[in-house]
Every structure is written in C-alpha cells, then in structure tokens.
Amino acid sequence: MTTRTTPRAYGAFTWIDLVTPELEAAKTFYEHLFGWKYFDTGEDFGHYHFALAQGRNAAGLNQLQPDSQAPSAWTPYLASDDAAADVARVKALGGQVYLEPMTVDDSGVMAICADPTGAVFGLWQAINHVGASVEAEHGGIAWSEVATHDAATACDFYGKLFDATALRQSEEYSIMQRGEEMLFGVMQMAEEWGDMPPHWMGYFAIDNTDAAVERVLSGGGKVTAPPFDTPYGRIAVIADPYGAAFGIVQLPAQE
C-alpha cells in the first residue's frame, strides 16, 4: 500500500468529486460499494466530505444546493501547474470556463471548464492537497476519459492545452500521452450513443468487478454497461441511485 504525497504530472487525472442531492444516502451507497469512510470538513467549507479508502483521501462528495438545476454528477479534475494560465489557454483554444480559478483555503486552486465539444472537466493546482492519495487500489482513482462526438477536435484541444500527443489505440479510442506518461483517454462516441452529450468519466479501482456490480444493484444503483474484459482490466459502468455515472475497473494482477 502506497500513499501519494506529491502532485501528479501536468494534465493527469488527480481528483474527482461528486455533487449529489442526497449526501447522506450517497455516502451510504458508496460505503457499501467501496468501503469508504468519510471526513466532514465542516460548515466553513459547506460540509464538503472527503471519502477515505484505507484511511487515505480518495474522492470528494458535496451536497447540491436545494435551488440548483445541476444534475448529480462526478467531475474529474486534471492536474494543473498554473490554473490561471491554463484557463486562459482553454479560452484561447475554444473551450469554456464555468468557474474561474478559485483558491480553496491552503489546499489548492480549482477551475471548472469545458472543451470545445462540450465535455466538462475540472483543473486542480495543488498546494497542500495533492489530489487523491490512493490510486490503482480498491476504492481509489484508476483512470479517466472523455467521451465526445468529435474526438479529433477534443484530441487537438487537450493536446495543445497539456502539451500532449494523442496515441490512437483503435478507431474509437486514443490516449493522451506526454513522453511515457499516460494522462487520460479520448473516446469517439458511436452512433449507438445517440444524442448523449459529451462527458468525462472517472474510473475507480475495485477488487472484484462482478461482486461490486451486485453491491451496486443491492444498494439501489444501476449498471449501464455490464462487466466486460479489456487489456486494462475488467470494467463496468455504473450510475448511483441519483444518476451520477462512473466506471469501476478490476485491474490486472501485478506480476
């Protein structure tokens, strides 16, 4: 078991948080699924909760405001060295900025953006909070990808934003990479996706995908893509009881 104490590479998946209309019920669902415990940051921070996997920061959960029209959703954050400069580049490259860089106490600087195809993502410039302390272990972050109707435009945008190269894996899938560092995936949405809007998806590592699917169903969630095998592990796509989508992956055993 390892604990990350340093920021991730520029552009890499570093954090993920949930906004939900029913915080306490969502906490119960994810504790049932991942075994998470929680730390409430208190009233000054809107009772933002850190989800803990084996005692380490894995994700964040937050209550939707009663008058909010936003859907329940997980938002992946990509590591930034300079959030203000990145936001300026997002605008110059044809993206949108929904939340300008905001300093969060002594933890870091966050921003919320969308790429030119409409997929929303976060930026996180770490100060004392490096992002998720646990990764590629049960209950920790594992991977992120953007699904879009225009993968070519997305690859061009993210490549210029993060000084990365799109390495094509198939007709539908590319991995954004800088040097040997794999940052995230870009998926071309096929016709069968219909009019589903472009979106980012975060994946959590799980000990056993099939057993986890049973816990999802018993906890009131839905399985939108049943377990399937890939070279990177056994994957399923889930929605929690309030519609927030995420992936789980049972990673290949380390030799």
pTM equals 0.96
pLDDT for position 3: 83
User: 3-state SS string over the chain?
Assistant: CCCCCCCCCCCCEEEEEEEECCHHHHHHHHHHHHCCEEEECCHHHCCCEEEEECCEEEEEEEECCCCCCCCCEEEEEEECCCHHHHHHHHHHCCCEEEEEEEEECCCEEEEEEECCCCCEEEEEEECCCCCCCCECCCCCEEEEEEEECCHHHHHHHHHHHHCCEEEECCCCEEEEEECCEEEEEEEECCHHHCCCCCEEEEEEECCCHHHHHHHHHHCCCEEEEEEEEECCEEEEEEECCCCCEEEEEECCCCC
| Beta-bridge partner residues of 111 | 123
Q: Are 202 and 74 in contact (CB under 8 A)?
A: yes
Q: Give buried/exposed letters for 36-70 (b at 16+ CB in 10 A, else e).
A: bbeeeeeeeeeebbbbbbbebbbbbbbbbeeeeee
Instruction: Compute the half-sphere exposure of residue 138: CA atoms within 13 Å on the CB side of its CA.
Output: 14
What's the pLDDT score for residue 192?
Answer: 86
pLDDT for residue 69: 80
What is the block-wise mean pLDDT of the chain (255 residues), using blocks of 10 residues?
85 98 97 98 93 96 87 96 98 98 96 98 97 96 97 98 96 94 96 92 98 98 96 96 97 78
Handedness of CA 222, 63, 145, 143 (dihedral sign): negative
Residue 140 is predicted with a pLDDT of 97
Q: Which of 182, 198, 215 is nearest to 11 (CA)?
A: 182
Residue 254 pLDDT: 66
Counted residue by residue, the chain has a size of 255
pLDDT at position 66 is: 82
Among residues 141, 107, 148, 132, which one has the least CA distance to residue 56? 132
Domains in the chain, CATH or no CATH each: 13-126 (3.10.180.10), 141-250 (3.10.180.10)
